[in-house]
Amino acid sequence: MSADVTLEDVRKDARAEEPEEQIDLAAVDKIIDSLTEMKGMLIPVLQNVQNVYGYVPEEAANSVADGLGLYRSQVYGVLTFYTQFHLSPRGRHIIRACSGTACHVRGGKTVISKLESKLGIGHGETTDDMFASFEKVACLGACGLAPVIMIDIDAHGQLDSLKAERILDNLREMDRMKRGE
Amino acid sequence: MFTITIDGKKTQVTRGTTVLNAARDLDIDIPTFCDHKYLLPFGSCRMCVVEVEGSDRLFASCVVPVTDGMEVHTNTARVKRAREAVLELLLTYHPLECPVCPQSGRCLLQDLVFEHGRDYGRFGHIDVEKRIDHLSPLIEMNQNRCILCGRCVRICDEVQAEGEFDFTGRGFPTVVEPTFAKPMDCEFCGQCVQACPVGSLYSRIFKHTAPTWELTQVRTTCPFCGVGCTLDLEVKGDHIYHVLGVDDEGSNNNGFLCCKGRFGYEYVHHPDRITEPMVRQEGELVPVTWEEAYEYIAQGMERIRSEDGPDALGGISSARCTNEENYLFQKFMRAVVGTNNVDSIARFGHFPGMEALRKAFGVEAPTNSLNDLQHSDLIFAIDSNITEDDHVAGLKVLKQVRSGNAKLIAANTRGVKITRFADPWMQHNAGTSVALLNSMAFVILEEGLEDKVFCSTRVTGLDELRESLGGSEPEKMEAVTGVKAGVVREAARTIASAENVTILITLGGASPYTGEDTVAAAANLALITGNVGKVGAGIIPLSEYNNIQGSMDMGALAEFLPGYQPVADDGIRTWFEAQWGVNLPTGPGLNAIGMIEAAAEGKVKGMYIMGENPLSSFPDQERVIEAMKKLDLLVVQDMFLTETALFADVVLPTSCGPEKNGTFTNTDRRVQRIRKAIESPGKTRDDWKILTELSEAMGYSNGIGSAMEVLDEITRMVPFYAGILPERLEKNGIHWPCPRPDHPGTEVLHLDRFPSGLGRTRPVQFQEPKKATPNYPYLLIPGTILYHSGTTTTMAKGLNAVAPTAIAEINPADARELELKTKDWVRLTSRKGITEVEVKVTKRNMAGTIFVPTHFREVPVNALIGYDPVKERGLTYVGIERIERIDVQRKADESQASKLKKTVQEIQDKKRRAVKESGPEVSGGK
């Protein structure tokens, strides 16, 4: 009988409470206003929200649900269904490594483990300094260049662990320069 | 009609019936996980596949409508193979951990795996660690066992309109999860728990306590609110382990329950239950035998009666006790003690409202049953927080409105769940519902929208009403009610043009701003629009008390003998005298307000209080304390040592709902059985038994041997209960009036005529709620919250985990002005007293008002409220003078609750001193 756990901190008063604002939700309201003439606009609204914040923050998702008159759980269900939506902040650079068959047989695995150990993160994670997010993807559609990774919108092919390391170092150097450090 | 043959059996079904339901009609069992009687077809589990002649593929019978001449086979080898494959796939991730699963023994999957004789199949079993929600109070969710049938997701949406969880993720890792994987934080109705076919959602209180196959089900009626849900208590020995909602012909609730009904039973086993009769000796309550207690009471009452006459004694009955106990209680006061000083909490709000209905229609009861809501095409809810006060009735409203069968108009000061579905929601200023209703009546009469035929044939008093409404134009009332005139006009037109309008009003402590006047104004509206005396149209006042209607029916009222038969009527009294074999007092006695006043003035010297706690439930706590202190003899009969019991000279321990037999009359006049499921603890006795034995100790034998024998007597004494024989209640409840044993009961009153011939409209003058002066800038809104019912449920551990303390609600505008934020503590000062409470800032409360829940002993809301003893309109002084922030540390010493404790201490000390001075006391009062 362990029903004596209280829920003070997550107690919600559904749709009427003033949200404890940590992020500015004005943009969300604007997006909702501009897109709610038609029904079924949840996904475009969420895409726009993600464009503003880089991810879909919890408060924004709840605010979208309230604004569109949906259950918060419904919006959460949609957000988790599509891989295009992200629920936590992402790095400045997105590194996607191919784990498809062609890349695998040509040593993709060593490239991936090099990147992971160098970045210190695994699939779907982001470095603490927000430098990069790392994802393993099924196929990048460039089997001729195997093993291949993509950094943001650039493809880098015919890699081995050494080359991968060098590319990552360059990326970090550029990132540092850009940020004026 | 379509003809369908299933497994060789032929039947006729209507268009749109699914094959699954057609099979059920034929008693052919098709297994299914995702299908549920009250949910839309979903077709996800594929367990219900059948073979249809002339088609190559298998069909999911739950989503396939019957076509004419269809021939279906439910049990072929191919069907079996398909079902086995489904089971095999489910078992790839559903662990067979039946020995530790609380659902074991009533698990659909377990049954089917047994039936098909397969363990983990060709695909083996993949052990994936999914989340177990260890944080939600009351309900635990083990996602490892989830088979993704979606019943919980859909019942939470379609029935509860809560949407607590949804399918999350995609593909194999899909789970059912609350938003952002938080612990559940919902209404905790547990509909999902009962709907879950496996052990994925279960009661946290029940888990790991008893195997399901050792539990015995006892069918009874829920003891909390006025809806009166039918439920099965699952007991083993003398312990209640689990509760299931019952869905059969006789139930009012379609198997649904709320958190109180499903999880609130823990109060029964609370260690603070009193189990021995106690008499105060030397300032302390000391355990005595029942005989000693009876002797003490009898002698004390005898002495007061001989010195000051029987009217120096008074009794407060209970809106929580059964009909039988209320009947015996008033009989005890009238026939044995010899006074009409008997009343109950109904005096504050509920009875005045019912009086308004009697004046308008002739019967002091709701006109329609709750099930009759399904025939309404418009529901008008006035100051009704139905979801929190009468939850399952609220589900009926939600269903009717969300299915598009009815529109909902709400007139609510606070934003509540139903106001989200209302169109329009008229948010009027607190206490101005009469003005609002009057202006709606004005619009209907001004625009000639009244039901002219109904008005001319069945209504009288229209001219006076018309005259009195001069000046009630919505435009003029806008300043009073705060609702835009255009909205009021539109709402009035909608009501006038609707076919069947049901008006819902919450009465009593749950809604102090509705009373006689509001109900009278609503009755006017119903009469002029012809919305009474027909199916789907009428007025249903709602109560947070399970048996407030019954306690009134049974004559726990100062001016009425059982069945609303006036005590002042000589003919009726003579008849009762002949039946009871005693002389009865003439003339109405003191009502609850009168008794408290008289006691405080020293005129009433002894009180007998059964199942009521005036110190926390009657307005003006200070005055009540004063009254209780002055009494020479106070007998309190209760389950717990309540605040009132602390002042008592004798405390008698009683059994509670699940421990006794009897009947409740719910808020729509439905008389239902409660049944004894467990033995009551210690030396506690049933109220009816105590009353019978005490009568005997005082020299009157009422010849009662069991609770159901009392019902026999009731059927003889109360004309409209005459046909409600105990044996008829075994299966179904019966709506009174039921004048003959062969009468089916009456769901809808006044169908052809009103008892007095015509319905009467009466002018109702709007009166501002008494804030007195600008010195009282805030209005107090006392009320109930979803997770509690009265103070009893605060004794239930599980419910306390969800709602442990009172949290007042205040509008952001006021909060800014007062520099308050959520979780601050405030001191509320009214003309009557002081209370301290935690606040929450929320928009659902209007500016200028503060909502405070009434359930918690530590936050005595009634200390703030006064009543007007002259006008007896119930709660009147509701102005709050000051709201100020306080330190939580400081609050402990100065709160009303601790003051009360001090008072009790003082009394005890004084009594002890008195005893010391005058030597030891002899039994028989002071």
Q: Which residue of A has its CA nearest to B164?
A: A73
Residue with tokens 């279906």: B72
State the CB neighbour count (10 A cutoff) for residue B731. Answer: 11
A138 and chain B in contact, CB less than 8 A: no
Peptide bond into B737 cis (omega under 30): yes
B426 and B478 Cβ atoms separated by less than 8 Å: no
Neighboring chain B residues of A123 at a CB cutoff of 8 Å: none
Rounded to whole angstroms, what are the CA distances from B733 to A178, B245, B394, B737, B741? 78, 16, 20, 12, 14
CA of A75 vs chain B CAs: smallest distance (Å):
8
Q: Compute, in degrees rounded to 10, the torsion defined by CA atoms B217, B218, B220, B225.
A: -50
> What is the fold, at CATH topology level, of the domain defined by A93-178?
Glutaredoxin (3.40.30)
pLDDT at B771 (0 to 100): 56
Instruction: Give the pLDDT of residue B509.
Output: 65
Mean pLDDT for each consecutive 10-residue tract of chain A (181 residues)? Answer: 37 40 77 79 92 91 91 95 90 92 93 94 90 91 92 92 93 89 66
Of B137, B162, B169, the CB nearest to A81: B169
CB B900 within 8 A of CB B643: yes
Distance in angstroms (rounded) separating the CA atoms of residues B538 and B314: 36
Q: What is the DSSP string of B176-233?
A: EEEGGGPPP-S----HHHHH-SSSSEEETTTTTT--GGG-EEEEEE-SSSTT--EEEE
Q: Predicted ipTM? A: 0.86
Q: Do B179 and A62 touch (CB under 8 A)?
A: yes
Confidence check: pLDDT of B923 > 70: no
Please give the average per-residue pLDDT across B10-28, as a whole number: 94
* Span B797-830, pLDDT tens digits: 999 999 999 999 999 999 999 999 998 999 998 8
Nearest Cα to Cα of residue B643 among B911, B856, B797: B856
- A7-81 and A93-178: identical CATH topology: no
Maximum average pLDDT range among A123-127, B241-245, B862-866: B241-245
Q: Which residues are within 8 A (CB) of B913 and not within 5 positions of it... i.e. 6 or more apart?
A: none
Structure tokens at B343: 């009343």
Q: What is the mean pLDDT of residues B637-664?
A: 94
Listed range (A21-35, B252-266, B608-622) with the worst mean pLDDT = A21-35
How far apart are the C-alpha atoms of B838 and B807, rounded to whole Å? 5
Residue with tokens 């019952």: B246
Size of interface A-B (CB pairs under 8 A): 92
Whether residue B41 is preceded by a cis peptide bond, meaning omega within 30 degrees of 0, is no
Using alpha carbons, select from B11, B89, B12, B78 the residue that is nearest to residue B49: B78
pLDDT digits (tens, 9 = 90+) for B406-462: 999 999 999 999 999 999 999 998 888 999 999 999 999 999 999 999 999 999 999
Query: What's residue A12's pLDDT?
Result: 39
* Residues in B touching A16 (Cβ below 8 Å): 415, 842-844
Q: What is the assigned CATH class of domain A7-81? A: mainly alpha
What pLDDT sits at residue B334?
A: 96
Which residue in B120, B138, B842, B878 sits closest to B515, CA to CA?
B878
Give the mean pLDDT of B689-698.
95
Among A4, A73, A75, A83, which would you mutate to test the B interface (most chain B Cβ atoms within 10 Å of its Cβ)? A73
Q: How far is the C-alpha of B695 from the C-alpha of A107, rounded, in Å?
A: 95
Residue B35: per-residue pLDDT = 95
* Diameter over CA atoms, chain B: 100
Q: Which residues in chain A have Cβ-Cβ distances shorter than 8 Å to B179?
A: 61-62, 72-73, 75-76
In this prediction, residue B893 carries a pLDDT of: 54
Least confident stretch, B90-104, B115-129, B644-658, B665-679: B115-129
Asked if B179 and A6 come within 8 Å (Cβ–Cβ), the reply is no
Please state which of the ranges B239-253, B560-574, B652-666, B759-773 shows the lowest mean pLDDT. Answer: B759-773
- Beta carbons of B59 and B93 less than 8 angstroms apart: no
Element (H, E) at B608: strand B606-610
Confidence of residue B567 (pLDDT cuts 50, 70, 90): very high
* Distance from the A153 Cα atom to the nearest Cα atom in chain B, whole angstroms: 26
Which tens digits make up the pLDDT trace of B469-480? 988 999 999 999
Higher pLDDT, residue B765 or B398: B398
What backbone phi and psi angles, to 5 degrees, belong to B867?
A: -130, 165
Adjacent-strand bridge partners of A132: A93
Q: Which among B166, B183, B842 is the nearest to A71, CB-wise?
A: B166
Strand pairing report for B662-665 and B670-674: antiparallel
pLDDT value, residue B587: 85
Q: b/e map of B822-845 (b: 16 or more CB within 10 Å)?
A: bebbbbbbbbbbbbbbbbbbbbbb
- Best mutation target among A12, A55, A79, A80 (most B Cβ atoms within 10 Å) is A80
- The minimum CA-CA distance between A154 and chain B, rounded to whole Å, is 29
Query: What percent of chain B has a predicted confidence (pLDDT) above 70?
Result: 94
Residues 6+ apart with CB under 8 A from B250: B230, B731, B732, B733
- Considering only residues A119 and B884, tell me which one the structure prediction assigns the higher pLDDT: A119
pTM for this prediction: 0.89
| Cβ-based interface (< 8 Å): residues of B facing A | 134-138, 157, 162-170, 177-180, 182-183, 185, 204-205, 209, 415, 420, 797-798, 800-802, 804, 812, 840-844
Q: According to the model, what pLDDT value does residue B641 have?
A: 92
Whether pLDDT at B64 is above 60: yes
Residue B408 tokens, joined: 């909902």
Nearest residue of A to residue B167 by CA position?
A: A77
Which chain A residues are Cβ-neighbours of B165 within 8 angstroms? 73
Contact call for A12 and B841, based on CB within 8 A: no
Residues of chain B with C-beta less than 8 angstroms from the C-beta of A7? 135-137, 183, 185, 801-802
What the block records as the tokens of B532 is 């009474």
Task: Provide DSSP, B348-402.
Answer: TTHHHHHHHHHHHHS-SS-SS-SGGGGG-SEEEEES--HHHHSHHHHHHHHHHHH
**CA B657: distance to chain centroid?**
14
Nearest CA in chain B to A7: B802
Q: Which one of A4, A7, A66, A79 would you mutate to disrupt binding with B, by most B Cβ within 10 Å of its Cβ?
A: A7
Inter-chain contact B842–A11, Cβ cutoff 8 Å? no
Q: Per-residue pLDDT tens for B480-525?
A: 999 999 999 999 999 999 999 999 999 876 566 777 889 999 999 9
pLDDT of residue A19: 46
Give the pLDDT band of residue B926 (cuts 50, 70, 90).
very low
Distance CA B311, CA B339 (A): 5
Give the model's pLDDT for residue B778: 87
Measured CA distances, B308 to B340, B344, B648 (Å): 15, 23, 20
Spacing of C-alpha B278 from chain mean position: 31
The predicted structure's pLDDT at residue B345: 92
Q: Is A7 in Cβ contact with B166 (below 8 Å)?
A: no
Q: How far is A57 from chain B (nearest CA, A)?
A: 10
User: Smallest Cβ distance to A3: which of B178, B204, B420?
Assistant: B204
Subunit contact B168:A77, Cβ cutoff 8 A: yes
CB of B537 closer than 8 Å to CB of B502 = yes
Q: What is the crossing angle of helices B433-446 and B485-497, to 10°?
A: 60
Per mean pLDDT, which range of B2-11, B245-254, B902-911 is the poorest? B902-911
Q: What is the pLDDT of residue A8?
A: 41
**Range list of H helices, B423-554:** 433-446, 452-458, 462-468, 474-481, 485-497, 516-528, 548-553
The reported pLDDT for the residue numbered B865 is: 83
pLDDT at B896: 54
- State the Cα–Cα distance between residues B445 and B398, nearest whole angstrom: 30
Contacts of B177 in chain A (CB under 8 A): 73, 76
Question: How close, in Å, is residue B799 to chain A by CA atoms?
Answer: 8
Q: Where are the domains of chain A?
A: 7-81, 93-178
What amino acid is encoded at B232 in this protein?
D
Distance CA A88, CA A73 (A): 17
